[in-house]
Amino acid sequence: MLQQASRSEKIFGYTSLLLLISGTVAAIPLEDKALGFSLLALGAGCLAATSTQFAKHIILVFISIGLLALTPISPDIDFAHFLTMGSYLSLAVLVPLLITRYVYKEKIIRFPIGKHTWTRGHIGYLLLAAALSYVLLPLWMSTTGGYQYWTVVLEPLQLFVLFLGTNGLGIWDELFFIVTVLALLRKHLPFYQANLVQAVLFTSFLYELGFRGWAPFAIFPFALLQGIVFKKTENLLYIIAIHLTIDLVLYLALINAFYPDVLDIFLTN
């Protein structure tokens, strides 16, 4: 744990994490690549003054965030963009996984699916997520015009691609921010600190996807809760189910925002 490190290692360790957060915000939502990569490089450099264990795990987060900063992040559903963005996102997950498994010989990044029992409380939480998203997503779209970052065409193939895109990104969010980033951070930080860092990174990525205006104030607590739920349930399928429930509402809300006469099912109409 970083808290058990020497004073200088602790200072450089926390400094590297602050620079990780600052560099991510600068490079992704603020789109200042020069500043963002400078901060990320400085943060990665600080790892040299920390323990070997801390450095070898956290450098993987820096590498993945660097890949995200290079990714053309947008909700564009053009096939070429789909392929390019998907390739970068896949690398952001695969690089830490492959290095920890086959270079470090560690199973820090796991995909647990078998320990969780779906009680009435868990199903209730899933329904609560659906209800809140039913209210908040159309409200956000109507008050900010945020839906205009997407393109919705009333053709079967286009709607299918949009459905795949929204759900695919939802699954990726959990695989990267919760399963990968949070796991690497938890190895060296108290859970609440690790969860705060991943939530900032999670929110920054979704901001660039078009969730702007007041959306980050809803996304940040959602990201925190996803980390907490995963810690308590240790079940990847459950947090994906939560996210995909919200993404289904997002998908329908996008269609409604562009074509309110076609899908008149939300309160904002």
pLDDT, tens only, 195-243: 999 999 999 999 999 899 999 999 999 999 999 999 999 999 999 999 9
Q: 237: Cβ–Cβ under 8 A, 6 or more apart, which residues?
A: 113, 116
First to last CA, the chain: 51
pLDDT at residue 235, as a whole number:
93
DSSP state of 148: G
Question: Could you give the dihedral angle defined by the CA atoms of residues 199, 179, 118 and 132, in that order, rounded to the nearest 10 degrees?
Answer: 30
Please list the rounded mean pLDDT of every run of 10 residues in the chain (269 residues): 80 97 97 97 97 96 97 84 92 98 96 80 95 96 92 92 93 98 97 98 95 96 97 94 97 94 82
pLDDT at residue 220, as a whole number:
98
pLDDT at residue 269, as a whole number:
59
The total number of residues written for the chain in this structure? 269
Measured distance CA(198)–CA(177) in Å, rounded: 6
Q: Is the distance from CB of 191 to CB of 220 less than 8 angstroms?
A: no
110: how many CB neighbours lie within 10 A of its CB?
A: 11
pLDDT at residue 6, as a whole number:
84
Q: 211: Cβ–Cβ under 8 A, 6 or more apart, which residues?
A: 140, 146, 219
Q: 113: Cβ–Cβ under 8 A, 6 or more apart, which residues?
A: 235, 236, 237
pTM: 0.95
Tokens of residue 109, six digits: 């990044």
